[in-house]
Structure 1
Amino acid sequence: MGARTSIAPGGRQSRLSGFFSAIENRLERERDQLPLWLPVALGFGIASWFALTDRNSWIAFLLTGAGLGLAALTLARTMRLARGIGIFALVAGIGCVLIWVRAEWVDTETLERPVVSRFAAEIVSVEHMPARESVRLMLRSPTDPALPRQFRVNIDEDVAPGGLRAGAWISLRARLMPPPRAAVPGGYDFSQRAWFSGIGATGRAWGDIEIVRPASGDSWRGWLETRRARLAAHVAERVGGGEGAIAATLATGDRGRIAEEDAEAMRRSGLAHLLAISGLHVTAVIGVAMLLVLKLLALSPRLALNAPLILIAAGAGALAGLSYTLFTGAQVPTVRACVAAMLVLVGVAMGRDAITLRLVAAGALVILLFWPETLVGPSFQLSFAAVTAIIALHEHPRAKKLLSRRDEPWTAKIGRFTLGLLLTGLVVEIALMPIALFHFNKAGLYGALANIVAIPLTTFIIIPLEALALFLDIFGLGAPVWWLVGQTLGLLLDLAHGVSGTPGAVALLPAMPIAAYALMIVGGLWFCLWKTEWRFWGFAPIAAGAIWALVTPAADVLVTGDGRHMAVRESDGRLALLRPRAGDYVRDMFNETSGTEAEAGALEDLPAAWCSADSCRTTIWRGDRQWRVFATRSRYYLPYPALVEECAAADIVVSDRRMPEGCTPRWLLADRTLLRETGGLAITLSPPGIRTVLEPGDDHPWRRVAQ
């Protein structure tokens, strides 16, 4: 027995050593892939700062990362695996520090409560939204000291005076509100975006708007904004209708002219990415510029033989891409695409294969270093997930063998090209589906098929035709080409509406747990960033996260943060609203969070409900018991004895005002006092559980302001 006892520890140590040796041998085979994990480590630190809620947790994360990193690096001489762990931990700590410093450095002045004020302020930017018949102004330096330094105001288009330009000062009266946080758990949190964008309030103006001081004309932003608005109006007028709105978007990035039904059709069909000025559009502009310069210079035999035409064309493409990025507003997605395109052009100029995962990693590092907050937004996640999936597919040996060009009949070439588009579309749809479901609770199912037609149509026909039409307009000859632009855009819109109207075109899912989403992201990265067989281990977390998301039930009761609106989920999945006259925004928000498109009904129409003008009560059966819910819905107070009786008989009480101490329901009192601390609520009844928008002690700066 003694001999066995003395041998066992050595055997375990030998097996452990063998395990680490196997991992190191595997990493040695993946040596070229290791740098791809640097932006993942940086992103992990940034995401951890967003996920953790208080300063003590952030400090603990930093100390843990630093300690683990230093300890691992001390073992790096004897264990190569430790070196990778140490670098990952230290870079993750850098990511956490980076976003923490960025959030505190922004220090946006935020309005604390709704106000109505008349003031004068300077216009920072102007966004025309003809589809909504309004104009959106970004204002700063108001004369009212009670207002934040910078905020956003919408005005009606019919009262907008001439001369609205960046740099002008205007006088107006407006109702302003703090940037809204998510109304219910899983909803869109504008307050976070507003903090990093420097938006301290939002609101709407009414009455007369007066130009106090016209723009001086010296502002480059104002000059650029005016030219952009004129070009958008010119393009929209030349094409006309919904097609003109899409054409203006492709030319200038101005999406305010697109009708809501067209925008929704593009979203449901998986074609909404065509409306965002990003990689596709920047690539098309750069490609057209390079092709034109290369072909024109090649007409000269002397230049063709002696000049570095590829380098010159790459420089022209870079200039065109930078100009297009600035002209379309230099939004973060466009800047991100431009950065990636510049890296590609550098690779082309050096004569190297630039379209690799290392390019994607370099672009992600640049974006996260300058705009770390973009990591948690859907734009960053969708664009980088799509590009990573595409490159991972086309770098696979079997895909290369199947899709590479070769001498064959033109029919076979077209078929191979179509197959490549189909495979690429399928891979992109699979990669983007969890991201779309997490952020929007919906994802298009037929996007891969729609994009087979839409992407070549937009890249090779619509954008070049539009550029040609604009050029010919200089000589007054663009009308025939504009007609062609309208016809091709009509085909694109017909495709979007046809696909979006197909039964089962959209997958819906209730708000998923963030941990389930994180598992799918980790699994996807593991699968895409490695090349050897262990990449397939990534399917385990992907499957676990997907199953977790699918089995997570929709909330049985949803309550907005102000307590005014409540939705009860019926047995068939439809929602019943406490206030049936709630607007489209509230209805859409409840439907998206619950993962349903069915028209919401009224709570008072339920068989088990009783409602008056001032209150409602209903009974919900979940599991093996029934739950009684009571809610107020008017500004009038109920008689105290009747209120106390209703509260005592209810399991859940919901109200937009503070309830008296005598109101003691059996389980939950969600009145103004509680909702001020928790924000909106998502309540599940089988098993009982509550998710909140706010958490006590949340130290994120936009949360501190809200509290």
Structure 2
Amino acid sequence: MEQKSGNLAEDGNVRFGAPRALFAVLENWLDRERDQLPLWLPVGIGFGVAFWQFFGSSAWAGLAMSCASLLFFGNLAPPYSRLRQMARMAAVAILLGFFLIAFRSTTVAQPVLGKIWTGEFYGRVEAVENISARNVYRLRLATGDSSDLPPFVRVNLSPEQYQDDFQPGAIILLRARLLPPAGPTLPGGYDFARRAWFQQIGATGTALGDVRLFQKADSGAWFATQRTALTDHILASMPPGSGAIGAALVTGDQGHISAADAQAMRDSGLAHLLSISGLHVTAVVGFIFIAVSRLLSLSSWLALRIPIPVVAAATAAIAALAYTLLTGAEVPTVRSFIAAVLILIALALGRDALTLRLVAFGALIVLIFWPEAMAGPSFQLSFAAVATIVVMHDLPFIRRLTERRDESLARKAARAVGSLILTGVAIELVLTPIALFHFHKAGLYGALANVVAIPMTTFIIMPLEALALVFDVIGLGQPFWWLAGQGIAAILALAHSVSGLPGAVTMMPAMPIWAFATFVIGALIFGLLTTNVRYCGVPLCAIGIIAMVMAPRPDILVTGDGKHLALVSADGDVALLRGRAGDFVRGMIFEKAGSFAKATPIEDWPGVRCTLDNCVMTVTGAKRSWTLLATRTRTPIASMEMAAACKRVDIVVSDRWLPQSCRPKWIKADRRLLEQSGGLAFFLDAQRVVTANESNRHMPWVKAAHAARAADASRQ
């Protein structure tokens, strides 16, 4: 076979004049990496999904031409060569990813609300989420074909408005104030409109007044009802303060966790324990598999007549399916279920339970059915964590550290702890840039906290909760609930301690997308290759991380409604135009500024002069000073006075429509501009303005919102 490949290379050189040595090196390298090449299939599909995310469906012609060029240059290689095969696989995978996400976006397309709407309507309850920490019940409602509203809306109810009969399948009559799904408040911010589009939510809002039950639910929503009942049972059974975490671990319902506990879990790197995903499904599957295997092995008659691993794997798979349905069948849970089933199949067949091929296959399944998940932090963080574990334990050093040997129990335990710490540190190194890209902050001590929390959750708390549920059948589960509650209390104490350490959380301003992409490409090269070429990924990761760290802070931030403006210093100090800005707006501003500093009233900022109606600010940059005028009330200002004020400044920011006579020296960011651009981030030294909508104006949810607004305007 090697001789044949060499002849092909030689023939190719004769026909095309390609450098023989270069082609031989590439072919030999690809031959050594032949077992790793299939791992790049989901990467190619992911690239196609990312291309759609950046350029939209209208860019299909450019992508098709690029893939055709790739096929053309691949065909210059001799037939049957690996280079030609790789070119074909890359082109097909990229096109497949692009058309998968485009098809998915088309199939979920639903009308969205164009403007604020207040009125009465009937809604069929599709899902109920109890967020007791905020005293809110969140209902997903189907509005029916006869309504002028989008087919599906999400409405918040207060505990006084909610009734126990508001279960999936029930029809209710309510009056509500609804708004279009919100896009990013600031550049690089969370885009709820994207999530709402793929969840087919066309509006969100709040119920007004009494909400009446029109028709009770039928018996078709058994899993949703059982989930609610199980959550309430856990809350009532466990000690106060622990029940909310205990319910989240079993049913995935995080709505009862207090804000302080949730923040501590995030800052300590333990928030992943609260989302039903790989850890929880693995605990359930492992518990069932081991329990069934041990019980069946007690009978020699059964052990000799049935394949115990197959029966145990099938039982664990059924239990995992039931657990997935019970917890709401969210995409992360379904992804974990698929991975668990693949592991069970491998165990039943006597194969390696966890390999990179298994991880790649799981990613492939998710990308085929839910391609939109690739852009979300859940997909990226979970697959990056699992892949890091596999890659780490395939490294020769780690293999030597973890291999079995005759030694004392103390040395064995020390090596196990050392392996856990090294793996945790590696996971943190990989996940921190991803977390910083999406959330602009990350915990620094998560590796150490997880070394304690993950084993405790997997081997103590969740088995205790499972035993408590089993013994509740005969009324003896309370001791197990109490023990599980003590374990959860210990984890909460750990989370609050770690999150309170100096430097426990780091924050950075929004980073350039190319830096994140460079880091991801470097990590893929290092993780998916086995030859020395993999080490080329290390400098790419380093370049990406350096660019993230060096990302500049914006000098001025303006929200999309024009009401909130923030001045940001080079040291991270922040001054707010409106001191009464809510927690959500403050959180978004400080995330984009990459700062933990306490907000300063803008009147106390150097170079600022304020009246009741407006503020004039002088911002000094490295090259020059900039003057900015911002309005902060709705009080009318005479046109001539406003025009004169605008003429004296470089930038004007207002949440109102300013007259045409207002002409500042650089930018007039009034309501007219902000409705098109969204929030703004000013980088004064570079004379650059980044808009919230510049990277998503081609997206279908943005186009649908514009179309809805235009339709509403034409009807008026």
Q: TM-score range by the shorter chain?
A: over 0.9
Contact kept, 8 Å, 1:242 with 1:262, in 2: the verdict is: no
Deviation at 1:393, TM superposition (A): 0.6
After TM superposition, the structure 1 = structure 2 runs for residues 49-68 of structure 1, keeping only pairs within 5 Å, are: 49-53=52-56, 55=58, 57-68=59-70
Q: Aligned partners of 2:484 and 2:235: how far apart in 1?
A: 11
Which range is displaced more, 37-46 or 71-80? 71-80
How far did 1:336 drift?
0.2
Residue in structure 1 matched with residue 48 of structure 2 by the alignment: 45
Q: Contact conserved, 2:564 with 2:578, CA < 8 A, in 1?
A: yes
* 555-564 vs 61-70, greater mean Cα deviation: 61-70
Query: Any residues of structure 2 matched to 1:398-437 within 5 Å, and which?
Result: 398-437=397-436
Q: TM-score, normalised by structure 1?
A: 0.96
Distance 2:148 2:573 in 1: 44
Q: Counterpart in 2 of 1:312?
A: 311
- Alignment partner of 1:30 is 2:33: yes
Q: Aligned letter for 2:37?
A: L
Residue 324 (1) aligns with residue 311 (2):
no
1:360 aligns with 2:362: no
**Does the 8 Å contact 1:53/1:698 carry over to 2?**
no
Quick check: 1:282 aligned with 2:281?
A: yes
Change (3 A) 1:65 1:661: same
Mapped pair 1:109 → 2:108? no
CA contact (8 A) 1:71 1:86 kept: no
2:123 aligned residue? 121
- Give the Cα separation in 2 of the matches to 1:73 and 1:50: 29
Q: Is 1:480–2:485 an aligned residue pair?
A: no
Distance 1:76 1:380 in 2: 38
Change in CA separation of 1:341 and 1:169 when aligned onto 2, cut-off 3 Å = same
1:19 to partner: Cα distance: 2.2
**Structure 2 CA distance for aligned equivalents of residues 531 and 271 of structure 1:** 31
SS of corresponding position for 1:618: strand
Offset of residue 608 of structure 1: 1.2
Q: CA deviation at 1:398?
A: 2.1
Aligned residue number for residue 571 of structure 2: 572
Partner SS state of residue 498, structure 1: helix
Between 1:546-555 and 1:138-147, the stretch displaced more is: 138-147
**Equivalent residue number for residue 341 of structure 1:** 340
Deviations 1:579-629 (A, max 9, x none): 111100000000011111112122122131111221111111110211111
Give the CA deviation at 1:142: 4.5
**CA drift at 1:571:** 4.3
Q: Is the 8 A contact 2:57 2:102 kept in 1?
A: no
Q: CA deviation at 1:565?
A: 1.1
Amino acid at match of 2:645: E
Confirm whether residue 18 of structure 1 aligns to residue 16 of structure 2: no
1:131 to 96, 113, 133: 133
Match of 1:4 in 2: none
Deviations 1:531-569 (A, max 9, x none): 111100001221221222222201111111111111111
Which residue pairs with 1:372 in the alignment? 371
Does the aligned pair in 1 maintain the 2:110–2:202 contact within 8 Å?
Answer: yes
SS in 2 for 1:205: strand
Q: Which moved more, 1:471-480 or 1:457-466?
A: 471-480
Report 1:437-586 matches (<5 A).
437-586=436-585
* Alignment partner of 1:158 out of 157, 160, 164: 160
> CA–CA distance in 2 between the matches of 1:282 and 1:73?
45
Counterpart Cα distance in 2 of 1:310 and 1:76: 47
CA distance in 1, matches of 2:215, 2:564: 43
Specify the SS of the correspondent of 1:634: coil
CA contact (8 A) 1:54 1:697 kept: no
| CA RMSD, 1 decimal | 1.7
CA shift in 2, pair 1:39/1:291, >3 Å: same
Equivalents in 1 of 2:138, 2:673: separation in Å? 35
- CA distance in structure 1 between the aligned counterparts of 2:57 and 2:214, rounded to whole angstroms: 45
> SS state of the match for residue 288, structure 1?
helix
- CA 1:175–1:195: 2 relative to 1, 3 Å: same
Tell me, yes or no, if the aligned pair for 1:519 and 1:544 is still in contact at 8 Å: yes
Question: SS where residue 511 of structure 2 aligns?
Answer: coil
Q: Which stretch shifts more, 222-231 or 452-461?
A: 222-231
The CA deviation string for residues 452-475 of structure 1, in whole angstroms up to 9 with x for no partner, is 100000000000001001111111
Cα distance change on mapping 1:471 and 1:259 into 2, 3 Å: same
> Could you tell me how far 1:272 is from its partner in structure 2?
0.5
Q: Which moved more, 1:223-232 or 1:453-462?
A: 223-232
Displacement after TM superposition at 1:54 (Å)? 6.2
**SS of residue paired to 2:156:** strand
Quote the offset at 1:144 in angstroms.
Answer: 6.5
| Structure 1 residues 655 and 54, CA gap change in structure 2 (3 angstroms) | farther
Cα distance in 2 between the residues matched to 1:697 and 1:449: 38
Partner SS state of residue 495, structure 2: helix
Unaligned ranges ≥5, structure 2: 1-12, 707-716
- Residue 82 of structure 1 and its aligned partner are, at CA, apart by 2.8
Q: Give how far 1:292 is off.
A: 1.0
8 Å contact from structure 1 (residues 108, 196) kept in 2: no
User: 1:698 deviation in Å?
Assistant: 3.4
Q: Residue 676 of structure 2 corresponds to which residue in structure 1?
A: 677
Contact 1:119 1:143 in 2 (8 A): no
Give the match for residue 227 of structure 2: 228
Paired with 2:635 and 2:654, the residues of 1 have a C-alpha distance of 12
Give, as a single letter, the amino acid of the residue that structure 1 aligns with 2:134: R
Letter in 1 for 2:30: L
Residues 576 and 599 in structure 2, CA contact (< 8 A), matched pair in contact too: yes
1:155–1:205 CA contact under 8 A, matched in 2: yes
Structure 1: segments with no counterpart, 5+ residues: 1-9
Output the CA distance in 2 between the equivalents of 1:61 and 1:438. 26
CA contact (8 A) 2:30 2:82 kept: no
Letter matched to residue 637 of structure 1: P
Give the secondary-structure state (helix, strand or coil) at the position aligned to 1:329. coil
Matches within 5 A, 1:56-205: 57-69=59-71, 71-73=73-75, 75-77=77-79, 79-142=81-144, 145-205=147-207
Report how far residue 14 of structure 1 moved. Answer: 8.4
Count matched residues.
693
TM-score normalised by the chain length of structure 2: 0.94
Counterpart of 1:634 in structure 2 is: 633
Partner SS for 1:353: coil
Give the structure 2 partner of residue 6 of structure 1: none
AA in 2 matched with 1:496: A
CA contact (8 A) 2:130 2:138 kept: yes
How far residue 301 of structure 1 moved from its aligned partner, in angstroms, is 1.2
Supply the AA of the counterpart residue of 1:388: A
- Checking the alignment, whether the CA contact within 8 Å between 1:33 and 1:530 is kept in structure 2 is yes
Tell me whether 151-160 or 494-503 shows the greater mean CA deviation: 151-160
CA contact (8 A) 1:70 1:86 kept: no
What SS is found at the alignment partner of 2:45? Answer: helix
Cα contact 2:31–2:82 (8 A) shared by 1: no
Instruction: Measure how far apart 1:223 and its partner are.
Output: 1.8
Aligned to 1:7: none
Aligned counterpart, 2:713: none
CA gap 1:101/1:315 in 2 versus in 1, 3 angstroms: same
SS of residue matched to 1:538: helix
1:293 aligns with 2:271: no
Q: Separation in 2 of the partners of 1:477 and 1:686?
A: 69
**Aligned residue identity for 2:46:** G
Q: Retained in 1: the 8 A contact 2:181–2:202?
A: yes
Render the CA deviation track for 1:196-238: whole Å, top value 9, x for unaligned: 0111111111210100111122x1xx22111111111111111
Q: Which whole-Å CA distance do the structure 1 matches of 2:46 and 2:254 have between them?
A: 30
Q: Is the 8 A contact 1:131 1:258 kept in 2?
A: yes
| 1: CA distance, partners of 2:667 / 2:114 | 28
Per-residue Cα deviation, 1:122-146 (whole angstroms, up to 9, x for no partner): 0001111111111000000257622
